[in-house]
Chains A and B, each alone.
Chain A
Amino acid sequence: MKQTHSIANETVDHARTREAWTLKRVLTNTYFLNAVSLIVFLLVWDYVAREHIFHDSLARPWDVVKQIVYLTNHKYAGTNLWGHIWASTRRVLIGFSIASVVAVPLGLFMALNTRVNAAVKPLFDLFKPMPPIAWVTIAVLWFGIGETSKVFIIVIGSFVPCLLNAYNGVRLVDPELYDVIRVLGGSRRDQIFHVCFPASFPAVFAGLQISLSVAWTCVLAAELTSSRTGLGFLIKRGMDTYKPTLVLGGMLLIAAAAWLTSQLVNILEKRLCPWKRHIENL
């Protein structure tokens, strides 16, 4: 028995009979389609770059790979590729940890205590619509162009989704769950620790995922404006010296790094709250 079709929680099990390799089956096979799409994408990219449709400003895929390999064992602006990747990742991790350590408890606390909520929520609503990137200039003015200003922007950016999701996670807990634990004789403390926190964890983790991707955007914005290390610096340098290979290489690397860190949070989530239901294939 194998799951062959699924929409939300519907799973249709087929007793698999051996089917002939018809042309239609091969053509509609998911892996085949994926391969086709990637190959076509790369070919089009290569063609556009080779024929100079965007003048010289698009590099061929192979040249981008060569550029990345070249950077791994040659120093560029003081450090090799791993140094740049680590510089960006470190900023993201520091800012993200500070924000999540402060924002998640604050969000939970706000949802549980009306007075804290009444005092903090209006201030939060005041800052919420301001995009974190808008803080770049004033952060440079306050903290100079060092590490502090970059970490500051990341903290600002990842604070909002963390807090918002923790807050909404607690508020949207199914009220019947509270009724159950009250009937079972649970105290307020039990309600919080046995119902409220476990039930809001999935929302908290969703918030962490969002703030991680915001953090990568922020670190990029900060590094593009002013820095001497990091992946954003590579992209910026590629822009200034008109080297599309460097720009595209930086973009691919930052995508890979962002993807890896979000996978890490995913693994952590699976470990910490196995009760979360997943929508398949997404």
Chain B
Amino acid sequence: MAYRKVEVATPLIVKVLPYVSILGFFLVWEIIVRTGIVPDTLLAAPTTVLKTFFVKLYDMDPDGATIVQHAWVSIQEAFTGFALSLVIGIPLGLCMGWFKVVEGLCRPIFELIRPIPPIAWIPLTVFWFGIGLTGKVFIIWIAGIVPCVINSWVGVRMTNPTLIQMARTYGANDWQIFTQLCIPSALPMVFGALQLALTYCWTNLVGAELLAADAGLGYLITMGGRVARPDIIVLGMISIGISGAIIGFVIDKIEKKLLAGIRR
């Protein structure tokens, strides 16, 4: 027998440690707040945060909306911006990867805009669009388009050159090589961009809402800061974290499903 299956048992301590560390973390957090090592004006205990969450499900104080409404506003903004950046960014990146003329024309502008943190656009968008939905969608769009363009561009660039040469030998023209060879081979990279773009969108959404908003999870945090209620701040942070994680998980599943036929 050439190969033998070797089973390595995971030691018990490695199995238990993750639960211990999570539990320990929450316990320490609870204790340092309850015993007053950290005053409760600075940090809220996890149980308080949980209680605030249930209260916020129906109570509109002090920020004028329930937590579900806030989350809904945020998700709406994030997805509009995200979808727009996909629709524009991916075709642009693919074309930039293959057509020299498109690359020559778009690259300087792209390189000019790329290093500007999307948050820096907030004042201009407030001037241009006010503090409504449009402005935030614009910022999220700017944030999401960068990874989309870069990944699809690199994806096309990484096409196996042997395949391109083979296609040329068989008499395919540039357009056929681009649509039938480069785009499919760039797909895994493009899907990698989805996850990345979503993270960027989510981060910058919070930034946009912290600075200029009247609803949304970021706004919930700002209001918590303004009325000095750490439980609301922590609640806002946690809800942003959890909703971001859930969306990321869903996208990951979709990606796996769509990519099932493509060899990585």
Contacts and interface: CB of A to CB of B under 8 A. Distances in A.
A and B form one complex:
yes
Interface of A: 7-10, 28-30, 32-34, 36-38, 41, 54-55, 57-58, 114-115, 118-123, 126-127, 129-138, 140-142, 213, 216-217, 220-221, 224-225, 232, 235-236, 238-239, 242, 244, 247-248, 250-252, 254-256, 258-259, 262, 279, 281-282
B21 A255 contact: no
Contacts of A9: 161
A84 to B, nearest CB: 14
A282 B18 CA distance: 40
B18 A122 contact: yes
B118 A217 contact: yes
B124 A220 contact: no
Given A8-B159, A129-B248, A34 B224 contact: no
A8 B124 contact: no
Interface in B87-142: 100-101, 103-109, 112, 115-124, 126-128
A13 to B, nearest CB: 13
B60 interface: no
B161 A8 contact: yes
Nearest to B38: A142
A141 B230 contact: yes
A14 to B, nearest CB: 15
Interface in B14-45: 14-15, 17-22, 25, 42-43
A255 B114 CA distance: 8
A33 to B, nearest CB: 3
Interface of B: 13-15, 17-22, 25, 42-43, 100-101, 103-109, 112, 115-124, 126-128, 150, 153-154, 157-161, 164-165, 202-204, 206-207, 210-211, 218, 221-222, 224-225, 228, 230, 233-234, 236-238, 240-242, 244-245, 248
7 smallest CB-CB distances across A and B, nearest first, come from A33-B104, A10-B161, A57-B127, A239-B123, A118-B17, A137-B225, A130-B241
B104 A34 contact: yes
Contacts of A118: 13-15, 17-18, 21
Contact of B210 (A30, A34, A136): A136
User: Per DSSP, are chain A's interface residues mostly helix, strand or loop, or mixed?
Assistant: helix
A280 B154 CA distance: 10
A119 B21 contact: yes
Contacts of B121: 251
Contacts of B224: 137
A133 B127 contact: no
A37 B106 contact: yes
A132 B245 contact: no
Contacts of B244: 129-131
A137 B109 contact: no
Contacts of A33: 100-101, 103-105
Given A225-B211, A258-B117, A282-B157, A38 B221 contact: no
Contacts of A130: 237-238, 240-241, 244
A232 B207 CA distance: 13
